[in-house]
Structure 1
Amino acid sequence: MRVLHSPVNIAGGPGAISQGLRELGVESTLLVFNERPFERGFDVNLQLRDTSRKSSIPSNLPKQLRAFLWALPRFDVFHFHAGLTLLPRKLNLPAVRALRKGIVFQSWGSDLRGRPASDVRYLRAAGAVIVGSYLTRRLAPSGRWPEYDVVPPAIVLQDWQPAPTEPSETLRVAHAPSKRAVKGTDAVLAAIESLRSRGVPIELDLIEGVPNREARLRYAAADVVIDQLRIGWYGMLAIESMALAKPVVVHLDDQAAAETEEAFGLELPLMRATEQTVEDVLAGLVEVRESLPELGRRSREYVEHVHAHTKVARQVLDIYERVMPISS
């Protein structure tokens, strides 16, 4: 079976799945439009200009067409990520379907969660649609496309060795928002400022706009990592931090948390907080910081069980077999 992942390597997740598939003996290739602003890896990079600008179309479209014509005869399964395909307006889908290729769409949250069905009618072309959490499955629109498969995001654990820290007098907190408003960053900043004004020994490393190789060094130096306080589920920042054996503070939807714990038979090792409670949660962690290394160890074990790239790849491979009953 030959698989093409495209056209983005969002948070490194598609690349981790592709690597896991290769380790399982599948011929898997990751093609990206470009690698800006973060460096997450690829097999083929089209080096397109900003795809959000119409002015980029004359430069980008010839490259996209060449890539599509190159890919069409070479791959059995086309695994598209984040609601994007190889061509604008998803013009490649009819040809992919006509040649009886497998089509899989994988959502990374905001491209599907909370959107009206009219925005995602392209999913009718899919043989399978993957979501990363039970929360996204519940909040995603329903329509004339396959039921959503819940597959957790993948991480290549060999690239994220545990980096536990010994508690010191000052609690070191890291927060790395891709979008401040979405992640509840203002509440994080206010909580840290309030705690410091009260003499609580705590400091914040706000990580923004830096390459992943630099960001992971700063995650590793932290005692605690704050993911997001608004969305209701944890993302790749939390997964990477847990892989580093870091305790993670995050807002979790209760129903999705219960469904996840039932599905995997594990308790979520995450410290729950909202924008309203994050100050109290952090104050409590300062008081019990000696227990944080143990929570970090449990966090690493959870990621090994749920998010290891080969385990996730096996789930994805089962979906491919369903989409393409007879493998090439």
Structure 2
Amino acid sequence: MRVFVGPLEVAGIGAGFVEGLRANGASADLVCAYAHRFAYSAQAVPARIVRWWAHWGTRRAALPASRPVAKGFAFGLQQLIGWAVLAWAVRRYDAFVFLYGETITNTGLELNLLRWLGKRTVVVFVGSDARPPYIDGGWFPADRPFDLDAVRLAAARQQRKVTRLERQASLCVNALATAHFHRRRFVDWFALGIPRAAQAAAPAPNGTTLRALHSPSHPVLKGTARIRAVVEALRAKGVAIELVTIEGRPNAEVMQALRDCDLAIDQLYSDTPMAAFATEAASVGRAVLIGGYNAGRVAADASGLPMPPTRFVHPDSLETALEALAADRAERERLGAQAHAFVAGHWSPAAVGARLLCLLRDDIPPVWWREPAQVTHLHGCGLAEDAARDRVRSLIDRFGAGALQLDDKPALREAFIAFAKGAAA
């Protein structure tokens, strides 16, 4: 089987898919429309048309909004070249794995054409590409105005995109925490996982001060200010701890910083127990502390699928959990060893690639499937609970509950209405 993976890289997932597929005997290429700013992978496809496509995509992304004509020209040219890339890919590949809700041309015609040609297509959602914008701090960060008109339109576009992709693709992969707009069953994200090659577990430093590493791609989204405040509160109590942050650096530098730390603190408002940075920490044997409002229910949502072993806690419990881990080196080592074993075994590229091949061959165990009615997560990601409530309430007050784009799921819509009014989630 020859497999296309693309058209963009997300936290090394695309490169991991390719490595895993190749480890299982498939021929696979990562074909990207943009260069990744954190240099996760240097894989290249030799076709000249792909290089032109990526060149104009990267140029478009680099142009500022203050140059709309140049940006529009680059966009139009990249779109035009994209059809040539599609023609090249149709001849070369038997199956397609699309990441982040994107395809080569981002048109319905493309997926319909691939289906008509007998090509199997798998769309893998990874978070903000599917999550409702009104509970996504990445769409509208907490330090910026919440534009109600913009979020209403964004939610409608997001819902239409998810509906179109699940209707036209062979299948979709998503997590229960981000699958609010699905109308058809989908494969649970944790049946697949983040492919990451485990490295030799590095021994933790032997210093007298605990070194906690935090690497926020977006400090507001990750709750960095509150994480810093928690660390300062512990220092004031006499706990020997320091917080090291690394931002906007190549992945190789992040990996070295992880080897030099005692503990990784991922983020405060996550909707998953092990996102990309946590997986990187686990790959070198570091324990991970992460906050999220669905921490108490993630195991039940898994319905028997293996869950990553991180210290996943309610955001209000972050200080207590960090103080306990700072005082217990043996527990940090135990948790780090468990996480390392999980990545080395269940989330290795070869293991993830084998499961991805099951999706591409339509050989899917029943336990992997999820139904839209199982989606109940209300808090979202990158937002404190009060902020999420305020946003949902403001949207409903202005436009009515229909703006949530959940009329096909009355129970979930009513749960959001109650949440906005202050009910416990």
TM-score, normalised to structure 1, is 0.88
Greater Cα offset, 308-317 or 49-58: 49-58
Alpha-carbon separation, structure 2, partners of 1:51 and 1:128: 29
Q: Could you tell me which residue of structure 2 aligns to residue 117 of structure 1?
A: 159
Aligned to 2:290: 250
Aligned mate of 1:142, from 182, 188, 207: 182
Instruction: Give the one of 337, 357, 369 matched to 1:317.
Output: 357
Map 1:226-237 → 2, pairs under 5 A: 226-233=265-272, 234-237=274-277
1:261–1:201 Cα change, 3 Å: farther
- What's 1:43 paired with? 44
1:1-328 correspondence runs (5 A): 1-41=1-41, 42-44=43-45, 46-47=54-55, 48=57, 49-51=59-61, 53-89=71-107, 91-114=109-132, 117-123=159-165, 124-131=167-174, 133-136=175-178, 139-143=179-183, 145-150=184-189, 151-157=191-197, 160-233=199-272, 234-252=274-292, 253=294, 254-260=296-302, 262-264=304-306, 268-322=308-362
- Classify the secondary structure of the residue corresponding to 2:123: strand
* Structure 1 residue 322: Cα displacement: 1.1
| 1:19-41 superposed Cα distances (whole Å, 9 cap, x missing partner) | 11111111111101122311011
1:126–1:146 Cα contact (<8 Å) kept: no
Q: What is the aligned-residue identity percentage? A: 26
1:98: Cα distance to partner?
2.6
Tell me if the contact between 2:95 and 2:121 (Cα under 8 Å) persists in the aligned partners: yes
Alpha-carbon offset, residue 147 of structure 1: 2.7
- State the alpha-carbon separation in 2 of the partners of residues 215 and 284 from structure 1: 25
The range that moved more, 98-107 or 271-280, is 271-280
Residues 175 and 152 of structure 1: CA distance in aligned 2, closer, same or farther (over 3 Å): farther
Q: CA deviation at 1:72?
A: 1.4
Aligned residues: 317
1:165-217, Cα deviation, whole Å (9 max, x unpaired): 14431010011111223222121111122223343211111111000011110
Give structure 1 regions of 4+ aligned residues with deviation exceeding 4 angstroms: 88-91
The residue identity in structure 1 corresponding to 2:173 is I
Counterpart of 2:13 in structure 1: which amino acid?
Answer: G
Are the structure 2 counterparts of residues 120 and 54 from structure 1 closer, same or farther at C-alpha, using a change threshold of 3 Å?
Answer: farther
Contact 2:108 2:168 survives alignment (8 Å): no
| Greater displacement, 170-179 / 91-100 | 91-100
Q: Distance in 2 between matches of 1:290 and 1:97?
A: 53
Shift of 1:55: 4.5
| Aligned partner of residue 38 in structure 2, secondary structure | coil
> Are the counterparts in 2 of residues 127 and 146 from structure 1 also a CA contact under 8 Å?
no
Gaps of 5+ in 2: 46-50, 63-70, 133-154, 365-425
Distance 2:72 2:298 in 1: 38
**Given the superposition, is the C-alpha separation of residues 142 and 226 from structure 1 closer, same or farther in structure 2, using an over 3 Å criterion?**
same
TM-score normalized by structure 2?
Answer: 0.69
Residue type of the partner of 2:331?
S
List alignment gaps of at least 5 residues for structure 1: none
Highest CA radius of gyration, 1 or 2? 2
In structure 2, do the counterparts of structure 1 residues 117 and 166 end up closer, same or farther at CA, with 3 Å as the change threshold?
Answer: same
Q: Would you say the 8 A contact 1:84–1:90 is kept in 2?
A: no
Cα pair 1:242 1:299 within 8 Å, conserved: yes
* 2:192–2:356 CA contact under 8 A, matched in 1: no
**Secondary structure in structure 2 of the residue aligned to 1:50:** helix
- Partners in 2 of 1:314 and 1:36 — Cα distance? 26
